[in-house]
Amino acid sequence: MGKKTLSSPRVTNTEAVWGWGWWAFQFFLLPSLLSAVNSLLSRPLSQAELNFTFFLLNFLAVMLIFHSFLARSVGAAAAHPAYFCQAVILGLVAYFALSKCVNWCIHQLDPGFRNYNDAFISGLHLNSRYLTVLGTILLVPPAEECFYRGLFFGVFARKALWLGYAVSTAGFALIHILGYIGSASPLTLVLSFLQYLPAGLCLAWSYAKADTIAAPILIHALVNAWGIYEMR
């Protein structure tokens, strides 16, 4: 088999501008806006339904903004299926190995550690199984990967590869804990942050390795599916 020629699908400047704008909106304003609208409804949505609505709107916006980037990425995966599969398999193995080590260390430091985000998703799963499965496995991975690997990693890695890894990994970990500031202890927040680092690192590595965002999207979906399966 000949040497792979990297097609390097990256977000364009236009996609980046719209992507940063939507990321800021969905991060800072959309949750509050949805909650405000929901409070005006004669039959307010449940927490699971509201969460799913957020996922769906975010997914649709990402499909609109990054549709060309995603199409180029699918083409890159199809052009080099062996490299794509290798990146997915190695990324999954690295993720589960690193997560096992990090989780062991976390529980040595705090035997009663509880990840608030995992507990929140578990509660949604109990109340609305199908919406939670659809949201976390099909809607979340493409949206978060376009942001944190396609946008964060892709933009900052152009300046320095280490910077791409640092910013995308830290950003990915932070979004999973910021909502619990004030309700979780500082130690729990720090340990939760550390718990998301393996995922961020392995997802960014798989993107760089496969040279297509399709790889981290698939890994993210499989990891979320496994997490949902463990909640049964």
DSSP state of 9: -
Beta bridge mates, 169:
none
Per DSSP, 42 falls in state S
- Per-residue pLDDT of the chain (232 residues), as tens digits, is 344 443 468 999 999 999 999 999 999 999 999 999 999 999 999 999 999 999 999 999 999 999 999 999 999 999 999 999 999 999 999 999 999 999 999 999 999 999 999 999 999 999 999 999 999 999 999 999 999 999 999 999 999 999 999 999 999 999 999 999 999 999 999 999 999 999 999 999 999 999 999 999 999 999 999 999 998 7
Residues 6+ apart with CB under 8 A from 206: 87, 88, 90, 91, 215, 216, 219
- Closest Cα to residue 54, out of 171, 212, 175, 216? 175
- The pTM (predicted TM-score) of the whole model is 0.95
Q: Which two tokens stand for residue 62?
A: 């990402």
